């Protein structure tokens, strides 16, 4: 199955999903893992903890944010596929970022963490069959919106693409 097989277009996640090419989910996850690994890490290190505007996250905080949310999305996928009745609560990205200590981590540690997290995400989604992937994932306030676990997988990739675009457009100009 490819992205074009997503039957519903979840409003909140549509922006992310639209950024992903029409590839099978594993191919999309693999492609953007490779993109992450191929970044010019010396450029990113040269930017350091500089931000393009006051109050914005550093690149290390952005990378940690991507890792954190990939873990959250993967956990949610697992909970919904396994039909756990207790639904995970919402999370505040700014609280998570401010407590991440990302700027104290080395670039290599962040890079390794992303690779490990993505590898675990790939393994998780590969363990799902088509029936699992089509199960509904409920999100939003009081879990009133829904999309498939399949669409949630593409949201993970699109979320990464979105933040990489921010880095390319707003941070690389700081060098």
Residue 13 lies in a domain: no
pLDDT recorded at residue 141: 65
Residue 161 lies in a domain: yes
Residue 76 lies in a domain: yes
Q: Report d(CA 24, CA 125) in Å as an integer.
A: 12
Say which CATH number the domain at 95 has: 1.20.120.450
pLDDT recorded at residue 16: 96
For residue 65, give its domain range.
25-38+59-174
pLDDT recorded at residue 101: 97
Residue 11 lies in a domain: no
DSSP letter assigned to residue 100: S
CB environment 83-118: b (16+ within 10 A), e (fewer): eeeeeeeeeeeeeebeebebeebeeeebbebbeebb
- Count of domains forming the chain: 1
| 134: Cβ contacts below 8 Å, ≥ 6 apart | 148, 149, 150
Residue 46 lies in a domain: no
Residue 133 lies in a domain: yes
Q: Which phi and psi (to 5°) does residue 8 adopt?
A: -105, 150
Q: Hey, what's the torsion of the CAs at 84, 13, 125, 129, to 10 degrees? A: 70
State both tokens at 166.
């921010």
Q: How many residues does the chain have?
A: 175
- Asked whether the beta carbons of 147 and 139 are under 8 A apart, the reply is yes
Low-confidence ranges of the chain (pLDDT < 70): 141-142
* DSSP conformation letters of 3-46: GGG--S--HHHHHHHHTS-S-BHHHHHHHHHHHHHTS-HHHHHH
Residue 103 lies in a domain: yes
State both tokens at 94.
């700014």
pLDDT recorded at residue 71: 98
Residue 15 lies in a domain: no
């Amino acid at each position: 199955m490819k992205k074009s097989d997503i039957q519903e277009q979840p409003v909140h996640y549509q922006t992310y999903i639209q950024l992903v090419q029409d590839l099978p989910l594993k191919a999309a996850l693999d492609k953007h893992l490779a993109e992450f690994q191929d970044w010019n890490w010396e450029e990113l290190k040269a930017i350091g903890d500089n931000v393009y505007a006051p109050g914005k996250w550093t690149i290390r905080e952005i990378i940690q944010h991507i890792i954190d949310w990939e873990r959250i999305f993967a956990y949610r996928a697992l909970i919904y596929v396994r039909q756990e009745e207790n639904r995970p609560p919402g999370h505040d990205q700014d609280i998570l970022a401010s407590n991440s200590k990302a700027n104290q981590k080395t670039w290599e540690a962040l890079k390794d963490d992303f690779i490990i997290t993505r590898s675990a995400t790939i393994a998780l989604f590969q363990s799902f069959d088509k029936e699992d992937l089509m199960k509904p994932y409920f999100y939003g306030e009081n879990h009133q919106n829904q999309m498939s676990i399949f669409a949630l997988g593409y949201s993970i990739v699109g979320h990464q693409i979105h933040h990489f675009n921010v880095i390319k457009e707003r941070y690389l100009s700081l060098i």
